[in-house]
Structure 1
């Protein structure tokens, strides 16, 4: 497996090479100028097992999606800051992993391992909780940062509806009011959803919902009596 980097900072490239070498998961790391160059490399060398790694600052909107459509066999790792919206945008366009630039030493080996096994890596992004809501976690065999792509088949219609509401940014009280449930019942459903997806928090659940292409539900406008 060869890692192909698209980044503008020499020091970061050196850091990635060191991390990849210590992890022992890839052959020597190479560089290309942009995603178009990576696509040409992949098309000229179909026998190579490539993984792309691109800084989100060097990929304009839509570029990742275009690359994934052109080279679906080449998994792409997006690199950026601790920014949930940028992470969701990159993964929504088809990147197979998102690694935070400042935590590349800890996250890249896990991302490479998950991507190699056909999974999607989502970092444990901090400070993502809605106001005052406790962070829910579940214990299980699924490693942090990975969600199963077949998880949508395991969800009940009610759980898919709640996951769509999570994707839309609704909190537990809003979900409960909309579905005429108690907040406690909503939390039970969310715990089951997290376990089915193999995710650890709402941000990762949103990414999973994006990947599963669940609908984004509009806020209901109350009707007058």
Structure 2
């Protein structure tokens, strides 16, 4: 039986934590939701937790400077899906979040319905960034090296993605949880420097060309 998603909200502003809490519970009724208000609490919680499906991380948090928290999390927990939330909507900041491995970026001005839709997309294994931000894929000449960096299980998941299989189907065939499949997909996106499934499949197809 599905025990639901495990999601952490890391934000030091109580009002926006409440807004995110509302959006998460609307998007995912069956959810184990935890909240922290500083990086120290977040790191302690992650160390104690098992598998976490999603971290919603405020860009400006006590205990972090700029993207230091995101960069540290990507190093310590490479398979943890992280979505940045921020009061800024500058494209350069959004692109920096992409560069450091975030699978989404949600401005704090996002209306609740759009926020719920973004969470639906992210939990389904896709990415979500504000409209108008460039989401260019990795150059083709780096694809072979990037594909070589995938673990055998990640490559197997990517192959199944290229066959059009859904997370649920992949989880069944590999005898793992959907959360594990989502973690693999997140890691694949990061390693290939792509932002969605379509770009990942295109990247894989390029290795057989020429």
Q: What TM-score do the two structures reach when normalised by structure 2?
A: 0.55
Q: Does 1:45 align with 2:52?
A: no
Q: Distance in 2 between matches of 1:93 and 1:52?
A: 15
For the aligned residue pairs, the C-alpha RMSD in angstroms reads 2.7
Which residue pairs with 2:143 in the alignment? none
* Largest Rg, 1 or 2: 1
Choose the corresponding residue for 1:85, options 92, 95, 120.
Answer: 92
TM-score, length-scaled by structure 1? 0.52
Matched, 1:70 2:88: no
Shift in Å, 1:25: 5.3
Name stretches of at least 5 consecutive residues in structure 2 with no aligned partner: 135-194
1:147 to 178, 182, 196: 196
SS at match of 1:87: helix
Structure 2 CA distance for partners of 1:104 and 1:68, relative to 1, 3 Å = farther
Say yes or no: does 1:116 pair with 2:123. yes
Higher relative contact order (CA 8 A, sep 6+): 2
Q: 2:27, 2:117 within 8 Å by CA — same for their partners in 1? A: no
Going from structure 1 to structure 2, the CA distance change for 1:155 and 1:114 (only over 3 Å counts) comes to farther
Cα contact 1:42–1:50 (8 A) shared by 2: no
Report the CA distance between 1:89 and its aligned residue: 0.9
Q: Structure 2 vs 1, CA of residues 120 and 35 (structure 1 numbering), >3 Å: closer, same or farther?
A: farther
For 1:125 and 1:57, locate their aligned partners in 2 and report how far apart those are by CA, in whole Å. Answer: 23
Whether contact under 8 Å (1:107, 1:123) holds in the other structure is: no
What's the offset of the Cα at 1:65?
Answer: 1.3
User: Hey, what's the Cα distance between the residues in 2 that align with 1:62 and 1:92?
Assistant: 12
Within 2, Cα distance between the matches of 1:21 and 1:8? 19
Gaps of 5+ in 1: 129-145, 157-225
Task: Indicate if the aligned counterparts of 1:76 and 1:96 stay in contact, CA closer than 8 A.
Answer: yes
Provide the aligned length of Structure 1 versus Structure 2: 137
1:101 Cα deviation from its structure 2 partner? 0.6
Cα deviation, residue 64, structure 1: 0.4
